[in-house]
Amino acid sequence: MSAVIAPATSRAARTIYLDYAATTPLAPQVLEAMLPYLRGGESDPLLWANPASAHGPGYRARAAVERARAQVAALIGADATEIIFTSGATESNNLAIKGALEFHGALRGSRRAHLVSSRTEHRCVLDSCRYLETQGVRVTYLKPDALGRIAPAQVFEALTPDTVLVSLMWVNNEIGVVYDIPAIARGLRERGVLFHVDAVQAAGKLPIDLREVPVDLLSLSAHKIYGPKGVGALYVRRKPRARLAPQMHGGGHEQGMRSGTLATHQIVGLGAACALAAQRLGEDAVRLAQLRERLWQRLASALPGLHRNGDPQACAPHLLNVSFEGVEGEALRASLPELALSSGSACSSATAEPSYVLRALGRDDELANASLRFSFGRATSVEEIECAAQRVIEQVRWLRELSPFGKDG
Amino acid sequence: MPLVEDSNPFAYPAPVWTLFRSAPRAGGFAPGTPGVVTGEAQSNAARSRLRLQLRFERGRVADARFRAYGCPTSIAVGAWLAGWAVGKDVRELAGLSAARLRKELEIPDHRAHCALLGEDALRAVLDRLPEDPSP
Amino acid sequence: MPIYFDHNATTPLDPRVLEAMQACLGGPYGNASSVHRYGRAARDAIEAARAQVAALVGAQPQEVFFTSGATESNNLALQGALATAPAAARLLYGATEHPSVLETAEALRAAGRAVEVVAVGRDGLLDWAAYETQLSRGPVRLVALMRANNETGVIQDVPRAARLAHARGALLHCDAVQAAGKIPVDFDALGADLMSLSAHKIYGPKGVGALVKRAAVELAPLLHGGGQEHGLRPGTENLPAIVGFGVAAELARDELERRAAHCRRLREMLEAGLRRLGAVTIFGDSAPRLPNTVQFALAGWEGEALLMALDRKGIAVSSGSACSSGKGEPSHVLLGMGWPRELAFGAIRVSLGPSSTENEIARFLAVLSELQALGAAA
C-alpha cells in the first residue's frame, strides 16, 4: 500500500510576493513626493489646487505637473512636450490605437485601413483591435513562434498599402519575451508606417531611448514601476508628428488629446517613479535576472517535466513563466497560498481559462493552464526565491504523487 | 496586512480547503491487496479524474484510499469520500448522492461537476463489486 | 494665510480621506484583478467604497462604476449611449453644461450624429417650451442636463426634465459633479438614468470619479480591455483613489447639512457685502442655486485682471470653470444665459467650502472695495 502524505502546511507566516508584473508597491520616495500634492506643502498649503486654475496655487500645481512630465520624458529619451498623461496603460493603449486609426479616417469608412498587432499582446490592445474590427478595420494578428518570438521580417511581410499602424509590446507581460523593437521601428520608419509600442513591462527594466529608436507612440504605466495606480502616459512623437484623434473630450487638457482634471499627486508620483527607475535601471536589471536564473535552476534541477515559457535568450529580467507537466493548474495555484503570483496576466487570472498567450505559443490547454508566472521586484530577496522554489517543488511532487495517472494503486 | 498561514486566500468553502490541504487517505493499496475494489471516474470537460479504492471486510468498508487529478474541490471530494466510506456497508454506500456531497463540502453551483465526479467514482466501485465482497 | 475661494474647481483632501488612502498607498495591496490574497483585499476595499458612493446618491452599489473622473464619466455617458442607439436618435444638452459635455457633443456632431443645444433663460434655468418642442421633433436618445452649474451654481429641475424625456422614450444623463455633497442628490428622485460624480469636488482625491447607471441602460464602453467594472470601464483599479472617494462620499453624506448651512450663511454675508459695494451683477440670483457659489461681475473690471489682482493679495478665485480659464474667452455659461460679452468677461466665481470663515469673507470684501476704488480712480 502506498500512502501519500500531504506536505506540512507552511509555518512561514509571511506571504512571498512574486507578482511585481501585476503591480508594484509604491516606493517610499514616490509617496514622499506625492504627499504635498495631497495634503498641501509645508510652505505652500494650497499645492492640492487644480493645475488648470488661473491663480497662484493652480500655477504651482501646474509647475509640478510639468516637472513630472520632464522626468517621464527623461526615462525614455523623449521631449517633455511629447508626453500625454492618462489614467493608466489601458487608456494609453486605447488612445494610441483607436486614436491613430480614427485620425486616419478609418472609423467612418472613408478609408480602407489595416492594423498589425500580435496574438500575445495585452488584453486591452487585443480588445481595442477587436473593437476596430467591428468598425471595419482589417487586423492582422501576428503569430509568435514556440518561444514567443516575432521576427522583424514577419512584421514587414504583414504590411499592406492600407496599413495605418503596427502595435506591439516591448516586453510580454506573461512570458517576458523581449521583441526586437529597435529593428522593427527602423524598418517601419523606412516604410512610413506608424508604430505604437506598449512598453509597460519594459520601462525601468530595459534601457529605452526614443532618440535612437523611431517609435511613434509608446505607452507607460506608473504602478508597474513603483508609482501610483491610476496614472500612465502616452508618448506621442513630435518629429515626425504622430497624429491622434482624442478619445476623451472636454476642457482641452493635454494639448486637447486627453481632457480631464490632472491628478497632480498621481502625475508627480509617476514622475518620481520614472526618475527613480532611471537611476536604478542597471542595478535592478542585473539583480532581477540573477534571481530569475536562480529560481529556474532550483526548479529545473529538482523537478522533471518543466517547460520554461518564452525565449530564455531574449527575456526581461523580472519574469519567469513555467509550465508543469502532470499537475492541474488550479490545484497548483491553490497549493501555494503563501506565494502571491499569477498564472498569467492579472487581468485574466480570475477566470479559469488557460492563458491565451501560452496557447499562442502552441502549448496545449493542460500545460497552458498548469503554469505559474513568477515576477520579481526590488524587495525580492534570495531567501524568498529559495523558499518559493522549495514550496513549489514540494507541492508539485505532492500533486503528481496524488494523481491517478500512470499509477496502479 | 496580517498574513496568517494557510488562510485560504482563494476563498474555497472551508471543508474543501481543509480536505485539500490535508488530503487524508491519499494514495492507493498495493496491487493484489485482498478485498480492494477500485472505481474511477473522470470528467473530460473539467479535466479531472478521481480514483477511489475501498477495501471490504465482511461486507463493510474496512479502509479506503483515493487519488485525484483536478481542481482542489475534486481532490477534496476524493478525500471526503474515502473518509466517509470507512465502516459503511454496500447499502449505505449506494445511498450517497451528489447532493449530499455538495451539502457536506459546501460546493457551490459552478463546481457541481466535482460532486458528480465523486458520485460517479463511488458508483464505479459499486458496479465492480462482486456478489460477496468479503473474502 | 492665503484665502481659497475656488472649491468648485477642486477641494482639499479631507484628512480622514487621506488617512484611509495612506493605508493602501503604503500597504501591500495588490492588483485588484489578481486572485491571490493581496488582490482579494483590494477587491473588498473597492466594493466597500462602491457602497459608500452609492449611499451618497441613493443608488444601488451595482449601479456605480468607477472612472478616472467626471470628464471620463460624461464622455462615457454621452458617447456610450449614442453608440448603442440608431443613428437618427439625437442628443439634447443644456447650453450651460460643462465643457466635457459640450465638447463630447461637438465630437459626436463631427462624427455625424445629430446633437442639439437646449436654450436656457437669463436666470440659467432651462427653457421648457424650447425643450418640449425639441423633444417632440423626432427620436431622442439622451438628454444631458447638469443638476447644478459649476459657474453660477444654478440648480436645474432635473426631475421635470427627466419626466419629459422619459415620456418621449429618451434617457436622461445628469452631471451631478457640483451638486453632490452640496445639496441632497438622489438618483431615483432625480429620475436620471445616468449620472456623473467626481471625488475631488467633495474633498476626495483627484483622478477618480463615477458613472451611476441604471441596469437597463445599455452603454458601449469608452475603453476596451481587461474586463474590470463589468467591462464598462477596464483598466487596473485605482485603489487608493477609490478608497478615498468612498470615505469622502460617506463624509459628504454625514456632513452635508452642516456644510451647506455654513456655506449658505457665509454666501449671504458675501452677497450682502457685494450689494453694498454697488455696481455688482450677481448671475442667476433669481434661480435656486448651490449654497456655496456666487458668480458676479464688478463694473469696470475685466475678470482676468480682477483674478490676478486678487491672486496677488493671496485670494484664489476663478473666472469661470478651471478647465477653460486662461483661454481669453468669456464664460460660455454666461453667454448661454444671454448676458452680453462685456459683462461675461467681467465674471468672477467665488466658491466656498466648510473651512471658509467670516474673516475671509470680510477680508475679501475689503480687498474688493480697495480694488473698486483703484478701478474708479484709474
Q: Which residues in chain A have Cβ-Cβ distances shorter than 8 Å to B9?
A: 337
Report if residue B3 sits inside a domain: no
Q: What are the pLDDT digits (tens) for B68-119?
A: 999 999 999 999 999 999 999 999 999 999 999 999 999 999 899 999 999 9
Angle at which helix C15-26 crosses helix A28-39, to 10 degrees, equals 170
Question: For chain B, what is the domain count?
Answer: 1
- Rg of the Cα atoms in chain B: 15
Alpha-carbon distances, residue C341 vs A204, B44, C274 (angstroms): 51, 75, 21
Name the residue among A13, A328, A401 with its Cβ closest to that of B4.
Answer: A13
DSSP A226: T
In this prediction the pTM is 0.93
Say yes or no to pLDDT of B33 above 50.
yes
Report if residue B72 sits inside a domain: yes
Q: Which pLDDT band, with edges at 50, 70 and 90, does B129 fall under?
A: confident
Which parts of chain A sit beneath pLDDT 70? 1, 9-13, 108-110, 343-352
CB contact (8 A) between residue C36 and residue B9: yes
A365 and A251 housed in the same domain: no
Name the residue among B30, B48, B51 with its Cβ closest to that of A1.
Answer: B30
Q: Are C348 and A93 in contact (CB under 8 A)?
A: no
A112 and A56 housed in the same domain: yes
Q: What are the pLDDT digits (tens) for C218-244?
A: 999 999 987 788 888 888 889 999 999
Q: Domains of chain C by range and CATH?
A: 3-10+257-377 (3.90.1150.10), 15-251 (3.40.640.10)
Residue A88 lies in domain = 28-277
A219 and A312 housed in the same domain: no
Say yes or no to pLDDT of C335 above 70.
yes
Which residue on chain B is closest to A369 by alpha carbon?
Answer: B47
**CATH classification of the domain holding A207:** 3.40.640.10
A269 and A286 housed in the same domain: no
pLDDT at A108: 66
Mean pLDDT of all residues belonging to chain C: 93
Report if residue B60 sits inside a domain: yes
Question: For chain A, what is the domain count?
Answer: 2
Element (H, E) at C294: strand C293-298
Higher pLDDT, C301 or A230: A230
Report if residue B8 sits inside a domain: no
Name the residue among C28, C38, C322 with its Cβ closest to that of A50.
Answer: C322
Q: Are C144 and C96 in contact (CB under 8 A)?
A: no
A103 and A206 housed in the same domain: yes
Q: What are the pLDDT digits (tens) for C89-105?
A: 999 999 999 999 999 99
Residue B113 lies in domain = 16-28+36-127
Q: Which residues in chain A have Cβ-Cβ distances shorter than 8 Å to C75?
A: 247-250
% of chain C surpassing 90 pLDDT:
80
A306 and A340 housed in the same domain: yes
Q: Under 8 Å CB-to-CB from C139, ≥6 apart: which residues?
A: C86, C88, C89, C90, C169, C170
Q: Are A121 and A148 in contact (CB under 8 A)?
A: no
How far apart, in Å, do the first and last CA atoms of chain B sit? 57
| Interfacial residues of B (vs A; Cβ cutoff 8 Å) | 3-10, 12, 20-23, 26-31, 33, 40, 47-51, 53, 65, 67-72, 75
Residue type, C216: A
**Final residue before a domain boundary, out of A234, A258, A277:** A277
A259 and A359 housed in the same domain: no
Which contacts qualify for C129-138: CB closer than 8 Å, 24 or more apart?
C131/C92, C131/C161, C131/C164, C132/C164, C134/C92, C135/C92, C135/C164, C135/C165, C135/C167, C135/C168, C135/C170, C136/C168, C138/C88, C138/C90
Write down the residue that cell numbers 522533471 correspond to: A304
The b/e string for A21-36 (b: 16+ C-beta within 10 A; e otherwise) is: bbbbbbbeebbebbbb
Report if residue B10 sits inside a domain: no
pLDDT at B5: 46
Alpha carbon distance B106, B101 (integer Å)? 8
Q: What are the pLDDT digits (tens) for C106-159?
A: 999 999 999 999 999 999 999 999 999 999 999 999 999 999 999 999 999 999
CB contact (8 A) between residue B3 and residue C37: yes
Catalytic residues of A: 347
Average pLDDT over residues C235-256: 96
Which residue on chain C is closest to B7 by alpha carbon?
Answer: C37
**Final residue before a domain boundary, out of A226, A249, A277:** A277
**CATH classification of the domain holding A390:** 3.90.1150.10
CB contact (8 A) between residue A49 and residue C10: yes
DSSP A395: H
Report if residue B134 sits inside a domain: no
Distance from CA of C95 to the nearest CA of A (A): 14
pLDDT at C320: 64
Which residue on chain C is closest to A330 by alpha carbon?
Answer: C35
A327 and A390 housed in the same domain: yes
DSSP A41: -
Distance from CA of C355 to the nearest CA of A (A): 13
Report if residue A174 sits inside a domain: yes
CB-defined contacts A:B, below 8 A: 95
> Choosing among A330, A332, A343, A366, which should be mutated to test the B contact, i.e. which has the most B CBs within 10 A?
A330
Q: State the sign of the Cα–Cα–Cα–Cα dihedral A245, A249, A254, A258.
A: negative
pLDDT at C231: 83
Alpha carbon distance A388, A396 (integer Å)? 12
**Final residue before a domain boundary, out of A217, A252, A277:** A277
Angle at which helix C128-136 crosses helix C158-167, to 10 degrees, equals 20
% of chain C surpassing 70 pLDDT:
94
C-alpha cell at C155: 440648480
CB-defined contacts A:C, below 8 A: 266
Neighbours of chain C (3+ CB pairs under 8 A): A, B
**CATH classification of the domain holding B21:** 3.90.1010.10
In DSSP terms, which residues pair with B4 in a beta bridge? none
Report if residue B132 sits inside a domain: no
C-alpha atoms less than 13 angstroms from C-alpha of A17 in its C-beta half-sphere? 21
A328 and A222 housed in the same domain: no
